[in-house]
Amino acid sequence: DTAVSQTPKYLVTQMGNDKSIKCEQNLGHDTMYWYKQDSKKFLKIMFSYNNKELIINETVPNRFSPKSPDKAHLNLHINSLELGDSAVYFCASSPPGLAGSEQYFGPGTRLTVT
Amino acid sequence: QQQVKQSPQSLIVQKGGISIINCAYENTAFDYFPWYQQFPGKGPALLIAIRPDVSEKKEGRFTISFNKSAKQFSLHIMDSQPGDSATYFCAANITGTASKLTFGTGTRLQVTL
């Protein structure tokens, strides 16, 4: 009974392609996030959704477009992939009440752009 | 601008020793300070967290010490074990709907036999 799951776990693709990463949480949380972890392991927030509404959009290129079909799912679509997009992308969720506090992370998707 | 500074970058501790990781923050509006543990190939996992109304929180072998006036907090791992070898991240945020975790740069801990 995985709490926060992501697919795929690994994604290898060529520059210029479009790809999507899917995230699902079965914790009943209202808020979901996408984080990017670079090669130096630095973690940075990209987006946050609360009940399907975008609430945080950091300075991320508009080639990245998150979509939340319902509060249990948050997908990330990336257009025109670039070498610099290679990273590990983590989805996370947090419960209502203490919004943003206890965040639970998925296993990550390692994206490699060649 | 790095709002949460973490040190050291890496740490080697003998089994049974105490591991200490330090973090400093700049934004006085932060009101939640978690520590995350990340094993290779896995996502970060919440280890322990503290709010600024207390100076210390202990859970098993893990203790957070918090110094509000100095804007610093630290993680102490007592009786360190090889299984504790992982990367540790401190973080901070402001509780609320439009909340986001600001992470430190991580400390790679290796516990040797």
The whole-angstrom separation of Cα A28 and Cα A48 is 16
Sign of CA dihedral B16, B17, B18, B19: negative
pLDDT digits (tens, 9 = 90+) for A37-58: 999 999 999 999 988 888 888 8
- Residue-wise pLDDT for A70-98, tens only, equals 989 999 999 999 999 999 999 999 887 66
Of B41, B45, B95, the CB nearest to A101: B95
* Assigned CATH class of B4-112: mainly beta
Residues of B in contact with A7 (CB under 8 A): none
Q: Is A48 helix (H, G, I), strand (E, B) or coil?
A: strand
**What pLDDT score does A100 carry?**
55
Task: Spell out which residues of chain B touch residue A35, defining contact as CB-CB under 8 Å.
Answer: 101
Q: Which residues of B touch A31 (CB under 8 A)?
A: 97, 99
Buried/exposed B83-112: b ≥16 CB within 10 Å, e otherwise: ebbbbbbbbbbeeeeebbbbbbbbbebebe
pLDDT at B96: 72
Would you say B46 and A104 are in contact if contact means Cβ atoms under 8 Å apart?
yes
Q: For residue A51, give every residue at least 6 positions away whose Cβ sits within 8 Å of its Cβ, in sequence order, or none.
A: A30, A31, A71
Question: Quick check: A102 pLDDT over 70?
Answer: yes
Interface of A with B in 12-71 (CB under 8 A): 31, 33, 35, 40-45, 48, 50, 55-56, 58
Q: In DSSP terms, which residues pair with B66 in a beta bridge?
A: B73
- Which regions of chain B are under pLDDT 70? 1-2, 97-98
Domain boundaries, chain A: 4-113
Cα–Cα distance, B80 to B112 (Å, whole number): 9
Superfamily of domain A4-113: Immunoglobulins (2.60.40.10)
Q: Amino acid identity of B49?
A: A
pLDDT tens for residues B10-29?
A: 999 999 999 999 999 999 98
Point out the residue among A31, A102, A107 whose CB comes nearest to the CB of B43. A107
Tell me the per-residue pLDDT of B95-106, one tens digit each, with 9 for 90 and over. 875 678 899 999
Comparing CB atoms, the residue among A40, A101, A107 nearest residue B93 is A101
Task: Kindly list the domain boundaries of chain B, sorted by start residue.
Answer: 4-112
Q: Measured between alpha carbons, how far is A69 from A72 in angstroms, rounded to an integer?
A: 8
Cβ-contact A57, A47 below 8 angstroms: yes
